[in-house]
């Protein structure tokens, strides 16, 4: 099975993902292999399993992209707690190509997750790393960054969003 980026309109992007269990180890290995290939190919910062068609609670951040992550790049079954003042920054998404918008998110996050070997870890992050973790965790809950935009912004983007949904339909992702 060759996984590909799911575009806006694909139902998997709007589902709450299921947690992984130790019995999912082989599936996790398979999904992570494809996710790592896709994130390199697309030059993305982060990628969640729903974005490659798998309704699983796992995301990755591009290895080596954020020094504050250290060796951590795989986040399985993440739980986050946000804190700090809200900061406005621009975000984009591989599932909504070509659209970048600014909005507010809390500036800090504490994340508890499992790594690729299903070993627990905890990180406290600020800045871009915090924002990336929040963005990818949203994906696991069926939330897209455009959901954080004002109704006016969404209306202004309607044509572009419709075109992306059309491409998803052409790829057969709406079934």
Instruction: List active site positions.
Output: 136
Q: For residues 143 and 158, what is the distance between their CA atoms, to the nearest angstrom?
A: 17
Q: For residues 66 and 69, what is the distance between their CA atoms, to the nearest angstrom?
A: 6
Among 145, 147, 174, 124, which residue's Cα sits nearest to residue 11?
174
Q: For residues 101 and 88, what is the distance between their CA atoms, to the nearest angstrom?
A: 10
Among 77, 78, 83, 76, which residue's Cα sits nearest to residue 105?
83
| Per-position b or e across 85-95, b if 16+ CB within 10 A of its CB | eeeeeebebbb
């Amino acid at each position: 099975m060759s996984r590909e980026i799911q575009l806006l309109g694909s139902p998997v992007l709007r589902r709450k993902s299921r947690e992984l269990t130790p019995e999912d180890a082989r599936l996790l290995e398979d999904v992570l292999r494809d996710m790592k290939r896709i994130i390199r190919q697309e030059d993305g910062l982060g990628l969640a399993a729903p974005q490659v068609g798998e309704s699983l609670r796992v995301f990755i951040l591009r290895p080596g992209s954020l020094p504050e992550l250290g060796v951590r790049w795989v986040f399985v079954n993440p739980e986050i707690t946000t804190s700090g003042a809200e900061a406005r920054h621009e975000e984009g998404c591989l599932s909504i190509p070509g659209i970048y918008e600014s909005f507010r998110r809390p500036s800090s996050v504490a994340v508890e997750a499992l790594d690729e070997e299903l070993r627990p870890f905890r990180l406290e992050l600020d800045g871009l790393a915090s924002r990336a973790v929040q963005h990818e965790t949203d994906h696991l809950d069926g939330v897209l960054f455009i959901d954080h935009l004002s109704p006016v912004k969404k209306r202004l983007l309607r044509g572009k969003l419709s075109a992306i949904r059309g491409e998803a339909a052409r790829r057969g992702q709406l079934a």
